[in-house]
């Protein structure tokens, strides 16, 4: 697709991710995705690995995993009506990048090894607090994680040492009724260990107040789970 035609196609949609598509063309995402990338700790090299990107939206992190050498990347998100995939924005970005990333519309509660397989690295970014049943979701995520889970989430009640979570029954968080929970650090660590992860580390914190902000967690070490040697140094740095 020539650059002018691509710009016309991009203008048809409201983008969430900011994705460089080449020739100086960047999707006008409302999210500063390149900045977020620096804070989550995706291994520099994913050569030969498989990656599952949950809640992939427009696909920025899926395409980045492919760029870092992943041999297979599956991008998932809620099903788009009438399709099995992630919709037109994702398809346009994939075509523009010449990408081989696969996509599948599936609810996180429906994840299982039988349906999607098991992946070396699972990305679970900006999803947890949108879920009515976060512990159930993490059980499903655990079942498809083969080595490393990278989880990024909104956090609240961070001035409490015990596991706790704020509940948002309306649109209290960012005027968005799709936000349900604000777990604190202890709650996220506790949930991850409850579903089966044995080692959970805080990779980064970005708190806007003593109570609230964003955090990134790396989880590994489940029974029967072997951390690939290529990931060991990355996790230790976290």
Distance (Å, rounded) from C-alpha 156 to C-alpha 153?
A: 10
Residue 6 lies in a domain: no
Across 89-107, average pLDDT = 96
Q: Write down the pLDDT at residue 79.
A: 83
Distance (Å, rounded) from C-alpha 184 to C-alpha 216?
A: 12
Residue 23 lies in a domain: no
The fraction of the chain above a pLDDT of 70, given in percent, is: 92
Residues in the chain, how many? 238
Residue 115 lies in a domain: yes
Residue 238 lies in a domain: no
Q: Write down the pLDDT at residue 8.
A: 95
Residue 75 lies in a domain: yes
DSSP assignment of 35-85: HHHHHH---S--TT-EEEEET-TT-HHHHHHHHTT-SEEEEEESPPTT-SS
Number of structural domains the chain divides into: 1
Q: 149: domain CATH number?
A: 3.40.50.150
Residue 234 lies in a domain: no
Residue 32 lies in a domain: no
Domain range for 61 is: 42-227
Residue 24 lies in a domain: no
Across 126-131, average pLDDT = 97
């Amino acid at each position: 697709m020539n650059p002018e035609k691509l710009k016309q196609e991009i203008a048809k949609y409201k983008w969430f991710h900011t994705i460089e598509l080449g020739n100086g063309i960047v999707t006008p995402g409302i999210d500063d995705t390149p900045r977020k990338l620096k804070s989550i700790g995706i291994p520099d090299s994913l050569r030969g690995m498989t990656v599952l990107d949950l809640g992939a939206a427009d696909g920025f992190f899926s395409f980045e995993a492919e760029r870092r050498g992943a041999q297979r990347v599956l991008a998932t998100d809620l099903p788009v009506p009438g399709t099995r995939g992630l919709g037109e924005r994702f398809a346009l970005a994939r075509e523009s990048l010449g990408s081989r990333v696969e996509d599948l519309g599936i609810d996180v509660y429906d994840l299982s090894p039988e349906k999607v397989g098991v992946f070396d690295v699972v990305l679970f970014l900006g999803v947890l607090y949108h879920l009515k049943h976060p512990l159930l979701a993490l059980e499903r995520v655990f079942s498809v994680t083969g080595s490393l889970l990278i989880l990024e989430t909104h956090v609240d009640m961070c001035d409490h040492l015990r596991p706790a979570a704020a509940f948002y029954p309306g649109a209290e968080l960012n005027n968005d009724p799709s936000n349900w929970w604000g777990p604190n650090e202890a709650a996220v660590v506790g949930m991850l260990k409850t579903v089966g992860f044995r080692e959970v580390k805080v990779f980064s914190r970005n708190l806007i107040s003593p109570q609230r902000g964003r955090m990134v967690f790396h989880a590994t070490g489940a029974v029967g789970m072997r951390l690939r040697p290529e990931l060991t140094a990355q996790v230790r740095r976290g």
